[in-house]
Amino acid sequence: MSVLNQMKLLISLAQIDGTVAARERNYIINIGRANNIYPDQLMPLIDKRHTLIVPQDLTDDLKFDYLFSLVQLMKIDERMYKEEMMFCSTIAENLGYRRQVMFELLLNVESTPMGEEEMNRLKGLVQGYLKP
C-alpha cells in the first residue's frame, strides 16, 4: 500500500505546475514498474487529484526513497517551482526530516540515474537530517 501512496505523492508533485509532462509521466511509470505497479494501473491515477498520505511506519531507507524520488521528479523537467519545493519540504517534514534536508537534496540529487556509491553517500548525508 505504501508504494501506491508514493505513486500518488509523485503524481501530486507532477501536477503542481498544471500539467504532467511526458518526462514526469515516464519517471512515475518507471518507478511504478520497479515496484510491480504497471502503466495500466497508473495511467488512470495521473489525471486525478489525490489525498496526500505519508505513511508513518516507513523504515529510514523507505523514507529516503520517497524523498529522493520526489526531488528527482522535481528536477527532471529542469524547472523547479516554488510550490514544488514547498510540497517536497512539507513531505520531508512529514517523513520525519528537518526542513533543511531539502538544501542537501537540491544540491546533490541529479535528474539522471545516479550510481550506487553516489546514492549511498547521499543516503548517509540525508540520514543526519532525521529528527530524533
**Tens digit of pLDDT for each residue in 1-56?**
578 888 898 999 899 878 888 889 999 999 999 989 999 999 999 988 888 888 88
Q: Which of 47, 41, 42, 43 is nearest to 15 (CA)?
A: 47
**What CATH code would you report for 2-127?**
1.10.3680
| Separation of alpha carbons 100 and 111, rounded Å | 20
Q: Which of 65, 13, 4 is nearest to 38 (CA)?
A: 4
Domain ranges of the chain: 2-127
| Separation of alpha carbons 5 and 39, rounded Å | 16
What global pTM score does this model have?
0.82
Residues near 76 by Cβ (< 8 Å), separated by ≥ 6? 23, 24, 27, 111
**Tens digit of pLDDT for each residue in 55-91?**
888 899 999 999 999 999 888 877 777 888 898 999 9
